[in-house]
Chains A and B, each alone.
Chain A
Amino acid sequence: DTGVSQNPRHKITKRGQNVTFRCDPISEHNRLYWYRQTLGQGPEFLTYFQNEAQLEKSRLLSDRFSAERPKGSFSTLEIQRTEQGDSAMYLCASSSPRDLSSYNEQFFGPGTRLTVL
């Protein structure tokens, strides 16, 4: 257990439905990342937050995807009008860099596996 939790662990939904995932990072970590991993591939970056500010979004994050971190603690990732291509593992990670220009280890949550039927 890395200290990062994600809920739910599994989600099965029908195409066209909306889904929301939650990530609770390690409490003192100010940076939070979302990644997506499809079967047999490495994770791909989606977006990240520094405290409550969303600083970068991948072009993978279409307008059906939105992420928030309203109080700089937990984060939510919402997918609207889900498509079968959205089926993947959605991973959250957190870290605590000294400053914006430094980088350090990310701690990953267990992921939320989404299946869109």
Chain B
Amino acid sequence: KNEVEQSPQNLTAQEGEFITINCSYSVGISALHWLQQHPGGGIVSLFMLSSGKKKHGRLIATINIQEKHSSLHITASHPRDSAVYICAGSQGAQKLVFGQGTRLTINP
């Protein structure tokens, strides 16, 4: 069993829809990261959180430490949000353990 599990693997929605991507993680993960990867490979860090909720523009990330669960929400989705979204956990202070990624496609 992977230490970080994401769902869904693929998500297609219409422009304007509210998007939720879920991430569950195991014991030993001290902080949770949400990353965005566009075609071609470049990865950008969106959020790092160990408690509560963070918001940046139309993106919101939440984490529930007791349930070991995090969600990434996108409000008023737009075709430019189409990308792979990856959840990753900090294992100790040294490295990231990644989920499989969620491929998001927003159709106009």
Contact = CB atoms under 8 A, between A and B. Distances in A.
Contact of A100 (B93, B96, B97): B93
Nearest to A113: B41
A104 B98 contact: no
Contacts of B13: none
A79 to B, nearest CB: 18
Interface size class of B (residues with CB under 8 A): 20 to 34
Given A2-B42, A93-B43, A103-B90, 16 more contacts: A35-B96, A42-B98, A42-B101, A43-B43, A43-B96, A44-B98, A89-B41, A91-B41, A101-B93, A102-B93, A103-B93, A105-B45, A106-B45, A107-B45, A108-B42, A110-B42
Interface in A31-69: 33, 35, 37, 40-45, 48, 55-56
Interface in B1-39: 4, 30-31, 33, 35
B30 A103 contact: yes
6 contacts: A43-B98, A89-B41, A103-B92, A105-B45, A106-B96, A110-B41
Interface of A: 2, 33, 35, 37, 40-45, 48, 55-56, 89, 91, 93, 97, 100-108, 110-111, 113
Nearest to B100: A42
Contacts, number: 64
Interface of B: 4, 30-31, 33, 35, 40-45, 48, 86, 88, 90, 92-101
Interface of B is mostly: strand
Nearest to B45: A105
Nearest to B50: A103
Contacts of B41: 37, 89, 91, 110-111, 113
